[in-house]
Structure 1
Amino acid sequence: MTIVDVRILVEGASDVEVVSRALQGLALGSEYNITISAIIPTTNLEIAKSAVAGADLLIIATDADRVGRELAERMFRELSELVGHVERMKIPLGHDLEHIDVELVRKEIKNTLVRAGLKSLQILPEYMALRNQLLDLKGKYETLMQENEKLKNDYQELEGKYGELLEEYSRLVEENNKLKESLKKKANVFKISEIWKELFGEAEPPEERYIAEAIEKLNLGGKIIVGQGYIYSDDEDLVIELLRIVHLSLSIAESKEEEKPEEKKEKEEKLEEHIAEFENF
């Protein structure tokens, strides 16, 4: 059980002896679990502040007259925040060491201790409520600490994954940049409508399926790619030659019924010549 630290503030040195004699007949330790740690003879406020700070209970023992009452009230106001609890005790007027009624002082000390105890009991429900709130907050704090620890672990794990993804992203960006540079150096990408107009002066190019069929029939898959209005190849001359064949083929198909046999034969021979040129690529 915790020992209650009690300090007694008196007006002068003579009061120290009076209080000391009265305390000799009290078994405060066994009866009240109390220890009188100091009897302080001073009316100086600053000295009193230094001497009483931290006490569980401060008893201000002054004479039972107006001067003593005013001193006690002033000390009470100034010292209350420095100690756990403050009680006033009156010392009989006209006391001296030879004629003082020690039993009366002893009784006053006991009454003061009882008053302090009863007042403490009055705040016990409030104390218990605060204690329960403290325990509740402590439980919530521990829960939050556990959640915080889990969040820290999750954060570290995510940070590690983020680092891995960042490295992978950097690698892909580097590869993409290299690919772009490679395409800039090697690729020949043409918009079909533009190159068709440039080669043949026609605004509307044929449907892509005709070009795709020509690529397939001429075994140019992988060398020439067509789609989304564009045609691509590492070899620009190969693209131009392919488009010429497509253009000539479409021209032959459109004029089959109208042309004379010799004109038709001439275009077919020209087409065969273009196809034969692919053997040189």
Structure 2
Amino acid sequence: MDTKNPIDVRIIVEGASDVESISKAMRNIALGAEYHITISSIIPTTSSEIAKRAVSGADIVLIATDVDAPGRELAEKFQKVLKDEVGHIERVKLPFGHDVEYIDPYLIQNEIKNAIIRSGLTAIANIQVFRELEDKLSEYKENIKYLSKENKELKTKDENSSIKYQEAIELNDKLNQESEALKNKCNDLKNEFTAIKSEYKEIQDKELFEVFYINDLWKEAFDEELEDYEQIYFISNEFKPENIVVGQNRIVALSKNDAVDWLKIIRTVLIFYDSKIEDLKEEFDKGKI
């Protein structure tokens, strides 16, 4: 198991109500266990100076603002101010005019997960920096070989040039130290790249839920308008299908096919037991079942 510290993610939002939205959405996500990531703080502010102090030392900062023009402008301001303060910055777009009570937490979950994935991909793209360091290391090695050869020639030609010889030795030692430091840095970068590559593969292998509007899927699958959402909610609550969540005119599933299959089952139930559904709902409302 990796004993390195988890990746520190901090989220900046516009106000206190957005803190509630983000906290509610992330309540059931185990980012630490799945991705070795921890969301250490959610910061409600529009102040650049407060944001600077609050995100200092973070690996990744997510700026969660509305998709409207003011939200976009605030996100752009924070990105300019914080770009040199943290490891990486990503934007998270919140639905315009969102209401804390009714916002779908899965939408925010997906936005945050996608932002973290984009951060990982950007880090992988920075492998070019690692290659440049390797080129510099090779250049330093050639310099060391050249200086070592020059040292030997100077020693052979003039044994009395002890001062110059000592200076050359000291320079050689310094270059050896720099070379060793670069080797260690390259090894660290290799380890980080391996860790990021492993985390990215884990992210690719994870099954992510998708959200669909019930009415759209119903019309697409059966070529008819949906007349009663409550019956769908009632049947879903009664049978509690695995990996299916229904509510607020939406259905959440691992795939579109899974969502359509569940709607087909509901439609079959409605066709054969339509006369009993209302009775069951009435019994349920009275608390008898």
Shorter-chain TM-score bucket reads: 0.3 to 0.5
**What TM-score do you get using the length of structure 1 for normalisation?**
0.48
- Greater C-alpha Rg: 1
**What TM-score do you get using the length of structure 2 for normalisation?**
0.46
